[in-house]
């Protein structure tokens, strides 16, 4: 391990005798337009260059973990929707996975396929809107974002059709999913998935070749490979730095080992890589979805006995590859219907820890897009 890479980088402020300059301290946030919620950055600027950056968060702290320790296992499920409110389906799945691991519940085949379909749809809409928000941070007046949201609506319609709610789905259950897919759902989902590549072509033509985006994003906010590993960065941010680590491949949870998909890797680890990796991952998700939709079996979707239970004293850590990175739930049971300890490993929060390393020496405008390219949701950062 190279310790030099984890030491905070220093930025030298010009301090010649001829010119006396001061550092300008700005508190960006919590009501700043582009901090993705109530996030605050205490930034010190030398001109427009960031010399110090201190992330401040906790404005959205909701006591998620403590509340979960005072309610039943099932009772925390709707709260996990509200962690990363963009991807409630994957949050549900990670929590369900942890409980299933602890209680030793089996999941029916069809439910596993439904989970994969839901998770990949979530990844599609999360990445599409993230790229949209990133361009918004870059200063586009919302056009790519609204194209992304236009497509996201089709996916949210599918979520609503299956689970009853567009964003707070609360769909996964221990040992399966809450209800079977309504009739006609799979056909509509096929249609949405088949239409999606056309949108991606449009999106890539609009964005990837644009000279302004190239010059704004390339070589900005470089996250070195070693630092990414040492800071336990996960998800697209890690893969953009060139580390081949995708929990779908590593853990092969669910039925991911049955699908043929590739893991795109970046080489530089800058904002452009993070942005491109997401676009490429969306293509892979479409591939997974097509395979899953073609091979989904019939059968039961849940284990009706697994509704209220007292797991034996045990501990378990369930993790999945969420759209933002490794989302893990650590549970300790003491034999009561409530978890003794409940801990979330939120990818947004841990990916945020390298923000200062990436921003030092960059312009203030870059700090905004670096934050955007990490892809945080404050609901998950603050819990």
Within residues 287-346, the interface with other proteins by CB under 8 A covers: 307-308, 310, 337
Determine, following the binding rule CB under 8 A, whether residue 280 of this chain makes contact with other proteins.
Answer: yes
Min separation Cβ 219 and other proteins, Å: 6
Phi–psi pair at 302, nearest 5 degrees:
-150, 170
Determine, following the binding rule CB under 8 A, whether residue 272 of this chain makes contact with other proteins.
Answer: yes
Token digits for 357? Answer: 């390393």
Min separation Cβ 348 and other proteins, Å: 19
Contact set for other proteins, span 2-21 (CB under 8 A): none
Min separation Cβ 7 and other proteins, Å: 26
Determine, following the binding rule CB under 8 A, whether residue 23 of this chain makes contact with other proteins.
Answer: no
Nearer to other proteins by Cβ, of 310 and 345: the residue is: 310
Sequence-distant (6+) residues with CB within 8 A of 273 are: 240, 241, 266, 267
Contact set for other proteins, span 204-223 (CB under 8 A): 205-216, 218-219
- Out of 277, 286, 292, 320, point to the residue binding other proteins (CB under 8 A): 277
Instruction: Note if the bond before 220 is cis, omega within 30 degrees.
Output: no
Give Cα 87 to chain centroid, integer Å. 7
Alpha carbon distance 37, 33 (integer Å): 8
40-46 and 24-28 beta bridge pairing: antiparallel
Q: In what order do the strands lie in the sheet with 314-322?
A: 314-322, 325-333, 339-345
Determine, following the binding rule CB under 8 A, whether residue 366 of this chain makes contact with other proteins.
Answer: yes
Nearer to other proteins by Cβ, of 238 and 316: the residue is: 238
Min separation Cβ 363 and other proteins, Å: 6
Pick the stretch among 6-14, 95-103, 225-233, 359-367 that binds other proteins (CB under 8 A): 359-367
Alpha carbon distance 95, 11 (integer Å): 42
Please say whether the beta carbons of 128 and 202 come within 8 A: no
Alpha carbon distance 156, 253 (integer Å): 24
For residue 37, the tally of other CB atoms under 10 A from its CB is: 16
Alpha carbon distance 265, 273 (integer Å): 8
Nearer to other proteins by Cβ, of 3 and 185: the residue is: 185
Min separation Cβ 260 and other proteins, Å: 12
Alpha carbon distance 328, 6 (integer Å): 24
Contact set for other proteins, span 147-166 (CB under 8 A): 147, 150, 153, 157, 160-166
x-or-dash pattern for other proteins, window 42-81, by CB under 8 A? ---x--x----------------------xx-xxxxxx-x
């Amino acid at each position: 391990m190279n310790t030099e890479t984890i030491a905070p980088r220093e930025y030298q402020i010009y301090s010649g005798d001829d010119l006396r300059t001061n550092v300008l301290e700005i508190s960006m946030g919590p009501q700043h337009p582009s901090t993705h919620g109530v996030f605050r950055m205490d930034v010190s600027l030398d001109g427009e260059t960031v010399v110090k950056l201190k992330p401040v968060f906790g404005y959205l702290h909701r006591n998620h973990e403590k509340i979960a320790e005072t309610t039943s296992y099932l009772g925390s499920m709707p709260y996990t929707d509200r962690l990363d409110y963009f991807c409630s389906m994957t949050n549900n799945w990670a929590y369900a996975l942890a409980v299933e691991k602890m209680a030793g519940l089996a999941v029916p085949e069809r439910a596993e396929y439904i989970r994969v379909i839901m998770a990949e749809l979530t990844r599609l809409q999360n990445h599409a809107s993230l790229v949209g928000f990133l361009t918004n941070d870059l200063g586009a007046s919302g056009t790519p974002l609204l194209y992304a949201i236009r497509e996201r609506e089709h996916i949210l319609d599918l979520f609503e059709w299956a689970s009853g709610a567009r964003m707070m789905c609360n769909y996964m259950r221990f040992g399966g999913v809450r209800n079977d897919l309504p009739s006609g759902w799979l056909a509509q989902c096929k249609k949405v998935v088949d239409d999606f590549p056309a949108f991606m072509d449009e999106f890539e033509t609009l964005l990837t070749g644009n000279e302004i985006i190239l010059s704004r994003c390339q070589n900005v906010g470089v996250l070195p490979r070693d630092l990414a590993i040492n800071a336990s960065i996960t998800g697209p941010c890690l893969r953009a730095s060139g580390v081949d680590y995708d929990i779908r491949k590593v853990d092969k949870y669910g039925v991911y080992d049955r699908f043929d998909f590739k893991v795109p890797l970046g080489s530089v680890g800058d904002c452009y890589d993070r942005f491109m990796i997401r676009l490429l991952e969306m293509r892979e998700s479409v591939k997974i979805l097509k395979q899953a939709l073609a091979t989904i079996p019939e059968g039961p979707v849940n284990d009706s006995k697994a509704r209220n239970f007292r797991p034996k004293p045990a501990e378990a850590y369930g993790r999945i590859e969420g759209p933002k990175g490794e989302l893990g739930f650590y549970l300790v049971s003491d034999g009561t219907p409530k978890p003794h300890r409940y801990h979330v490993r939120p990818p947004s929060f841990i990916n945020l820890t390298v923000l200062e390393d990436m921003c030092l020496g960059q312009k203030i405008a870059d700090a905004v897009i670096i934050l955007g390219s990490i892809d945080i949701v404050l609901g998950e950062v603050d819990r």
